C-alpha cells in the first residue's frame, strides 16, 4: 500500500500469482482515478482508469476496485509476470472542479520472482 | 509526434547555473503538466498549463522555478541558480482536455546539480 515515508512500499510475488496493490487517496471530491506503471528509467505509463460512478473496472489481466466510502483504490494483476515488475502509482483528479492536476500517491514497488 | 518528448534526457550542471528543460507534448493536447520525481519517490506536481495559461502554479517550489508554454504546444521549465536539492527527474505529461482524462508522460529529464 501507499506510505508517506521516504522508502517505497514493496510487494514481492511469485510469477503466476495474483498481485494486489493498494492506494488510499486523500480527496473525497476526487472522481477520476488512474493507475500508472513506471519501469526503471522510464516515464509512467497508463494502465487503467476508473470514474467514481463505478466500483470496478477490468482490463487485460488487471482490475481496479474503487471504494469511495473509505477512499481506497486497488489494482489487481492476474497471473503476474516478470515484466510486471515496476513501481505502480495511483493518481486522483477532480474532473469537475478547478483543480486540474493529477495528484499521485507515493507508489508501490512490485517485484516478480521467476 | 507519437508521444511526449522531453529534452535533454540528461543534464549535469554546476550549482548556481540556470537550466532549461523542454517538453514537446502530443500534438493537439491542450493540457500540459510538469512533475518532479526524486530517486525512489513519488511524483511531485509543479505546474499545469491549459493552452498557454497556467491556472495552477502551486507546486513550483521557489521563485527560482518558472515555466512557460507557447503556441499551445512546447513548454519550457527554467530553473535559475540551481541548487543540489534540485537534482531529480523532471517529467512532463500532456492530456487532451486536462480534467478527468488520462495524461501521457514523457521519459523525463534527469537533472544532476554538482
A95 to chain B, any CB pair closer than 8 A? The answer is yes
Could you give phi then psi for residue B17, rounded to 5 degrees? -80, 160
pLDDT computed for residue B100 by the predictor:
66
Give the tens place of pLDDT for each residue, A30-53: 889 999 999 988 999 999 999 999
| Rg, chain B, Cα only | 13
Confidence band, pLDDT 50/70/90 cuts, at residue A88? very high
Supply B69's cell numbers: 508554454
Residue A68 has pLDDT above 90, yes or no: yes
- Is B99's CB within 8 Å of A51's CB? no
Of B35, B42, B100, the CB nearest to A107: B42
- Check CB contact under 8 Å for B43 and A96: no
Q: Which DSSP state fits A8? A: P
pLDDT above 50 for A1: no
Give me the total of CB pairs closer than 8 Å, taking one residue from chain A and one from chain B.
69
Asked whether the predicted pLDDT for residue A2 surpasses 60, the reply is no
Q: Which pLDDT value is given to residue A97? A: 57
| Three-class SS state of A66 | strand
Chain B residues with beta carbon closer than 8 angstroms to that of A6: 40-41
Residue B54's pLDDT is 86
**Which residue reads 471504494 in cell numbers?**
A67
B90 CB neighbours in chain A (<8 A) are none
What are the backbone angles phi and psi of residue B75, rounded to the nearest 5°?
-125, 145
- A68 in contact with chain B, both atoms CB, cutoff 8 A: no
Amino acid at each position: 500500500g501507499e506510505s508517506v515515508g521516504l522508502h517505497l512500499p514493496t510487494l514481492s510475488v511469485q510469477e503466476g500469482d495474483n498481485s494486489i496493490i493498494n492506494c488510499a487517496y486523500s480527496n473525497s471530491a476526487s472522481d477520476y482515478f488512474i493507475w500508472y506503471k513506471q519501469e526503471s528509467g522510464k516515464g509512467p505509463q497508463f494502465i487503467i482508469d476508473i470514474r467514481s460512478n463505478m466500483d470496478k473496472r477490468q482490463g487485460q489481466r488487471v482490475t481496479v476496485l474503487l471504494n469511495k466510502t473509505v477512499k481506497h483504490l486497488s489494482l489487481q494483476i492476474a497471473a503476474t509476470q516478470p515484466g510486471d515488475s515496476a513501481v505502480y502509482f495511483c493518481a486522483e483528479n477532480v474532473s469537475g472542479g478547478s483543480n486540474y492536476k493529477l495528484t499521485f500517491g507515493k507508489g508501490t514497488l512490485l517485484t516478480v520472482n521467476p | 509526434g507519437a508521444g511526449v518528448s522531453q529534452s535533454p534526457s540528461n543534464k549535469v550542471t554546476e550549482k548556481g547555473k540556470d537550466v532549461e528543460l523542454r517538453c514537446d507534448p502530443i500534438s493537439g493536447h491542450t493540457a500540459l503538466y510538469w512533475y518532479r520525481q526524486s530517486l525512489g519517490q513519488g511524483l511531485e506536481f509543479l505546474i499545469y498549463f491549459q493552452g498557454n495559461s497556467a491556472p495552477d502554479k502551486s507546486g513550483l517550489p521557489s521563485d527560482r522555478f518558472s515555466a512557460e508554454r507557447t503556441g499551445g504546444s512546447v513548454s519550457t521549465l527554467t530553473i535559475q541558480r540551481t541548487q543540489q536539492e534540485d537534482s531529480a527527474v523532471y517529467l512532463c505529461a500532456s492530456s487532451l482536455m486536462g480534467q478527468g482524462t488520462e495524461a501521457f508522460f514523457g521519459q523525463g529529464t534527469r537533472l544532476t546539480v554538482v
